[in-house]
Amino acid sequence: MSVDGAAVRVEGLVKVFADRHRGTFRAVDGVSFECKGGEVLGLLGPNGAGKTTTLRILSTVLLPTEGKATIAGHDCVKDPVGVRGSLGFLSANTGLYPRLTPRETLAFFGRLHHLPEELIEARVEELLDLFDLKDIAGRRCEKLSTGQRQRVSLARTLVHDPPVLILDEPTTGLDILGTSAAMAFLQEKRAEGRAILFSTHVMPEAEKLCDRIAILHRGRILATGTLEGLRVQTGRRYLEDIFHVLLAST
């Protein structure tokens, strides 16, 4: 599935958290970017940069204080149901229901998307195949390894075949094999024409996978561009150095 034009469009996004004891806190402070179908955009930044909050606004679980965001043409504030139908979202530290099996898990989320039963059945088998989960499809999720669980979670994001994938630090907790499998998965989905937005603080991952990179710090975007463009802009070769130069210039 693919979408024409910008699958994800974010303009002047602001999120202010109000805390009675600590005052207000601008977690996201005027962020704008776009991501087209068949493109991987990486949100790169240290902990607390505002990556997770931005992705949560896009996934409609949080409301923006200001600004506008659309996913596949659906407005995140005005049409959250449309957004959720077009989006596969993997939150950071995502979990699974411990006493459901992978097969039951995928079917449950398919039903939450109101897919017809025959389609769910076919899609679940297809995803179990794709993610090499056939052998463990009947085992409870609490008995699976971290890598197996992450595969179930990734499969879950695809159960309704969405044009946009938003993945918040999808490689956290994975070993080398798990990480490369996840990376291969992202490349494959890009080739299918999906728009992929993913956040990470692991620089080599971003270097390897992203078509474009947006660097976030304290709720603001310091720079957006291809890796090559950022190299030219900063005169540094490695992303880590690029990041430090951008940080120093603020």
Partner 1 sequence: MNGADVALVFRREALEILRDRRTLLAGVLLPVLLYPLLFFGTERVRRAAKRSLEGREVAIAFSPGAEEARAAIEPRLEGRVCRLVSGSFDDADVSEGGVHAIVEVRPDPRTVVVRFRSNVELSAEAASRVSGAVEEWREEERLSRLAGAGLVPDPGAPFGFVSLDAAPPERAGGALLGRLLPLVLITVVISAGSFAALDAFAGERERGTLETLLVHPVSSVDLATGKYLAILATALGSSLLNLASLSATLLLAGGLGGERAGNLRLAPGSIAGALLLLVPTAALLAGLLAEVSARARSFREGQNYILPLVLASMIPGIAALLPGVVLDPFLALLPIAGPALALREVLKGSAATLPVAIAVASTFVYAGLLVRRVGGLLDAERILREEAPERATPGAGLHARSTLVATGGTFLVVFALGFPAQARDPIGGLLATLFGIVLPAAFLVARAARVRPGEAFGFLPFRPSHLLAGASLVPAASLLSAFVLAFQQSFLPVPEALAKEMAEKLQIGTLPTLVAFLLYAASPGVCEEMLFRGAVLRGLRRDLPRFRAVLLSSVLFAAFHFSFYRFFPQAALGVLLGFLTLRAGSLWPAIVLHAGHNALVLFAGDEVAILAFDPRFLLAAALGAAAAFWIVRRPRPR
**Which positions lie near partner 1, rule CB under 8 A?**
17-22, 25, 27, 47-48, 52, 56, 59-63, 81, 84-85, 87, 89-91, 93-100, 104, 108-109, 111-114, 140, 153, 156
CB closer to partner 1, 68 vs 140? 140
Question: How many C-beta atoms surround the C-beta of residue 219 within 10 A?
Answer: 23
Q: How many Cα atoms within 13 Å fall on the side-chain side of residue 90?
A: 28
Closest distance to partner 1 from the beta carbon of 139 (Å)? 13
User: Of 52, 54, 43, 87, whose CA–CA distance to 194 is shortest?
Assistant: 87
Closest distance to partner 1 from the beta carbon of 239 (Å)? 23
CB closer to partner 1, 72 vs 242? 72
CB closer to partner 1, 197 vs 230? 197
Closest distance to partner 1 from the beta carbon of 196 (Å)? 16
User: Of 157, 201, 246, 217, whose CA–CA distance to 29 is shortest?
Assistant: 217
CB closer to partner 1, 94 vs 234? 94
Closest distance to partner 1 from the beta carbon of 208 (Å)? 26
Closest distance to partner 1 from the beta carbon of 24 (Å)? 8
CB closer to partner 1, 157 vs 234? 157
